[in-house]
Amino acid sequence: MSVKIGMIGAGGIARSHLSKLQKIEQATIVSIYDVNRDSAVQAAESVGARAADDVDSLLNPNEIDAVFICTPQFARDDLEERAARKGIHVFVEKPLGLDLETVQRKEKAIAESGIIHSVGYCLRYFDTVLKAKEYLQGRTIHLVQAQRFGTTHPALWWRTQSMSGGHLADAVTHQVDMVRFLAGDYRDVTAQFGSNSIAGVFPDATIADAGAVTFSLKSGAVGTITESCVSPYHGGSEVKFFGPDFFVHLTGNGKTLTIADKEEKVTLTSTQDPSLEQDKAFVEAVATGSREPILCGYADGMQTLAFSLAAHRAAELGSKVTL
Ligand SMILES: NC(=O)c1ccc[n+]([C@@H]2O[C@H](COP(=O)([O-])OP(=O)(O)OC[C@H]3O[C@@H](n4cnc5c(N)ncnc54)[C@H](O)[C@@H]3O)[C@@H](O)[C@H]2O)c1
């Protein structure tokens, strides 16, 4: 079955999905909508699709089977619910939103509709990350250390706290999610965010430039996340899991995995493109009607968002917040 796809948003991540979808035989890109008409037209022309005039004409179940929602988190409105009501399957980018109540409402509507749904936590699709998950199954983790350093996204929305939720919610969310995916749910969080440097880069920025987060997991393991979006001389991400009889280390957003224990020390580097694997899984799920290939559904993505929101609340309160 060919899967007919519409895309809402035609910015950076939408174009990345378009290039992946073009490599998937079963996928046909039908229509693209963006508030910026020129972007929609340009993206549509590049893939032989049509530029839709508005969301209503794009969300037409006679024309598309599935929609990719690639607008920033401040600009999702009720798109997921509108698609779900029409029986249109939904892929939506991370993070799922800016407030939990709205996302919970959407989650309910999506679950009740019975549509296929997938959230853009693409790093879950690395074979190295799946291998780490398998290895950690049944092992006792006592400490987790995650970090991500880099520079800012160029868009104004991204450096505006009320539109992006900040670096932890928008980008470090991949590492927040990797910890959950591999070691289980969070129990509580404390956090501090700083902003010593960001005004020197963007005077209009309202996001923090650094975060120091501590947490415990429901398993009893404790951990930290340190992050900065103003780190031009040292970038990258790592997640480390420590146990009494092993050490698991993921670097490069999960591309490289090292496992050390008394048997051996092995390092594997993935040759996969996790975003392509993610889009293949969604298209396959829509084509077959089976959710099985999807590694992050909407309710799962909502739990990852809940952690970042709780971290910001903990920083405001100056105390621990339980999830
Ligand atoms: N999974 C990942 O690794 C990954 C990577 C990058 C971005 N993202 C996520 O994707 C989303 C978009 O990020 P981006 O980098 O593409 O941003 P971007 O600024 O490059 O593009 C956003 C696009 O959305 C359009 N837009 C804004 N409001 C709209 C609306 N109401 N209706 C239709 N179009 C609208 C803009 O005109 C723009 O073309 C964000 O939520 C971001 O966190 C995910």
Q: Give the domain ranges of the chain.
A: 3-121+275-295, 123-272+305-322
The predicted structure's pLDDT at residue 44: 98
pLDDT in tens, 2-53: 999 999 999 999 999 999 999 999 999 999 999 999 999 999 999 999 999 9
More confident residue, 217 or 152: 217
List of residues 6+ apart from 317 with CB closer than 8 A? none
Q: What is the rounded CA–CA span in Å between residue 209 and residue 196?
A: 7
- Rounded Cα distance, 172 and 160, in Å: 16
Ligand 1 pocket test, pick from 7, 8, 13 with the greatest ligand atom count within 8 Å of Cβ, gives: 13
Residue 165 beta carbon below 6 angstroms from any ligand 1 atom: no
Cis amide prior to 95 (ω within 30 degrees): yes
CATH code that applies to domain 3-121+275-295: 3.40.50.720
Residues 6+ apart with CB under 8 A from 101: none
Structure tokens at 127: 């074979």
H/E element, 242: strand 236-243
Tell whether domain 123-272+305-322 is in CATH 3.30.70.100. no
Per cent of the chain over pLDDT 90 is: 99
Rounded to the nearest 10 degrees, how much is the dihedral formed by the CA atoms of 66, 69, 75, 80?
Answer: 40
Q: Which strand (E) or helix (H) includes residue 90?
A: strand 89-92
Q: What pTM, to 2 d.p., does this model score?
A: 0.98
User: Measuring from atom 21 of ligand 1, which residue has the nearest CA?
Assistant: 11
Q: Does the structure show a pLDDT above 90 at 253?
A: yes
Residue 1, pLDDT score: 77
- Residue 15 CA, ligand 1 centroid: distance in Å: 10
149-to-24, 217, 290 alpha-carbon distances in Å: 32, 23, 37
> For residues 248 and 236, is the Cβ–Cβ distance under 8 A?
no
**What are 99-144's pLDDT values in tens digits?**
999 999 999 999 999 999 999 999 999 999 999 999 999 999 999 9
Q: How far apart are CA 150 and CA 171, in angstroms?
A: 10
Atom 5 (ligand 1): residue with closest C-alpha? 13
Ligand 1 binding pocket includes 40 (Cβ within 6 Å):
no
pLDDT in the model for residue 159: 97
Is the pLDDT confidence value at 63 over 90?
yes
Q: How far is ligand 1, taken at its centre, from the CA of residue 12, in Å?
A: 6
* Cα–Cα distance, 243 to 183 (Å, whole number): 11
- Given the structure tokens 């089977």, which residue do they identify? 65
* CA–centroid distance, residue 124 to ligand 1 (Å): 20
Structure tokens at 4: 């007919």
Closest CA to 63 of 86, 42, 80: 86
DSSP-derived secondary structure letter, 178? H
Q: What band does 66 get if pLDDT is binned at 50, 70 and 90?
A: very high
Q: pLDDT tens for residues 256-302?
A: 999 999 999 999 999 999 999 999 999 999 999 999 999 999 999 99
CB 241 within 8 A of CB 247: yes
Cα distance between residue 311 and residue 323, in whole Å? 10
Taking the C-alpha atoms of residue 38 and residue 188, their distance in angstroms, rounded to an integer, is 45
The tokens describing 29, both together, are 């890109």
